[in-house]
Chain A
């Protein structure tokens, strides 16, 4: 079985988000970058599938050389080879196009994504890649089991879960539950250090969208404090605010 896991390179979850002078991009000074936590669910499930039933796993990231350390973090969890498409990932359609162009001749049985990147929060790339490759996709997958050529999956839906089956090849986006996060072991980290990252030139494609401004969300006015026995007053305030 051939598996592709697409990862995004995102600011650590504890990062205080600040912008550059023009207010158009993240100020990267002092920011630690990580593999997107949702992509880690995909990586961890790929590692389990590899152990249980055998698989060859490719890691793919669209980004400039700055993402290489993040790719190595992913390889340390699982990864027989890694590919970087050498481009700025400024727009989901663009990223999807690059991934689809790479994947179309590779005959992957399973292409895995995170349910969303924690910087852009698009939930876009996986569905776009699936459509570009004319493959079925299961988004927000919380489980996948593979038996021969058929996969059984669970996906999150509003108010519950849905079970479904599908023949491979298949695209999925990982929701919490797909696997437990794995911590890379020493052997994995050592292997990741020396692994060659194949760098590919992007195909020509326009950016469909442009970020014109990034700003901080409006700050809270400040907290009104009530005493533990003032719950009647709390209800009254909430009622005045139209909150209940």
Chain B
């Protein structure tokens, strides 16, 4: 038995969601008395393998196949399941990125496993079988879910588990895997990069703005604040609907759901559908000129004021802070 983590290689680099999944898997492995393995597609540099080892991977299975240098969901799922079968992995942990979410259900079916998605707690084992907590009803509920099956596929919510270094041996092994013709039915053509520098789902800090900003020409200060904080930018739905901002920035019930360490909401009223995507953020700062805006009920820190004064002032304060730290 072992715990297997899908280590997602993004242009030769492993990122935070993968390290979170490894940290998480390592904590479960300690409780269950087993070890953590990683599976990745395509060769990467030795430093990159070392980074997987530093978060607890004792073995790293590398599937290096010429057809799989680009992500192809069904084929990756087959590869992950093949490693899981050979190593008799009992729990498969998959970061909840777009690609992670694409492969996970297929892996679950291939292994005839139970699947838990959007998981926010460690897996515990009792006489009832495995149990976890996850978020449900678009962040409006916490669900405890159990299964008495012996295999489990988990997608781990971003920012739900803190990074923990755990030096492990990280032995790199090539894993022979031949995708079938059906696995390769999808033909990736090209990737179009978004203009934003930091992807929303992995961002620690998100600076978000809504209709209160009046027009797209006023987003300069939002971007400047985000750049200073190393944050991703986001927006409310109507802002994306009228194309003030690109669709991939839209957060909420019908957009992306995020749970960063810090969410700064500027000129957003805090409609229930918006909160459904952001209310799990650890710290929420709301800037709104209307003291009655519902968002203040979900905020940790609120400033009732005009965004066009508060945001430039905040930019200056952050600059000052950065030069003194």
Judging by beta carbons under 8 Å apart, are B143 and A211 in contact?
yes
Judging by beta carbons under 8 Å apart, are A157 and B186 in contact?
no
Known contacts A134-B182, A211-B144, A234-B303; A127/B190 CB under 8 A: no
Judging by beta carbons under 8 Å apart, are A217 and B139 in contact?
yes
Judging by beta carbons under 8 Å apart, are B316 and A231 in contact?
yes
- Residues in B with CB closer than 8 Å to A138 are 73, 186
Minimum C-beta distance from B12 to chain A (A): 14
Judging by beta carbons under 8 Å apart, are A234 and B314 in contact?
yes
Known contacts A127-B105, A131-B77; A228/B306 CB under 8 A: yes
Contact residues, A205-243 vs B (CB, 8 A): 208-217, 220-221, 223-232, 234-239, 241-243
A11 in contact (CB, < 8 A): yes
Known contacts A160-B192, A209-B116; A137/B310 CB under 8 A: no
Judging by beta carbons under 8 Å apart, are B140 and A243 in contact?
no
Judging by beta carbons under 8 Å apart, are B254 and A37 in contact?
yes
Judging by beta carbons under 8 Å apart, are A176 and B106 in contact?
no
B320 in contact (CB, < 8 A): yes
Range, interface on chain B: 35 or more
Contact residues, B97-119 vs A (CB, 8 A): 97-99, 101-106, 108-110, 114-118
Q: Majority SS of interface residues in chain B?
A: mixed
Q: List 17 A-B contacts (CB under 8 A).
A: A11-B137, A122-B115, A123-B104, A127-B109, A131-B106, A136-B186, A162-B191, A166-B186, A176-B250, A212-B146, A213-B144, A217-B139, A223-B296, A228-B310, A232-B320, A235-B320, A235-B321
- Residues in A with CB closer than 8 Å to B317 are 231-232, 234-235
Q: Majority SS of interface residues in chain A?
A: mixed
Minimum C-beta distance from A172 to chain B (A): 11
- Residues in A with CB closer than 8 Å to B71 are 157, 162
Contact residues, B39-79 vs A (CB, 8 A): 71, 73-74, 77
1/0 contact string of A125-153 vs chain B (CB within 8 Å): 11110111010111110100000000000
- Residues in A with CB closer than 8 Å to B103 are 127
Judging by beta carbons under 8 Å apart, are B301 and A210 in contact?
no
Assembly CA distance A237 to B303 (angstroms): 13
**CB nearest to B240 among chain A residues:** A176
Contact residues, A77-113 vs B (CB, 8 A): 92-93, 96
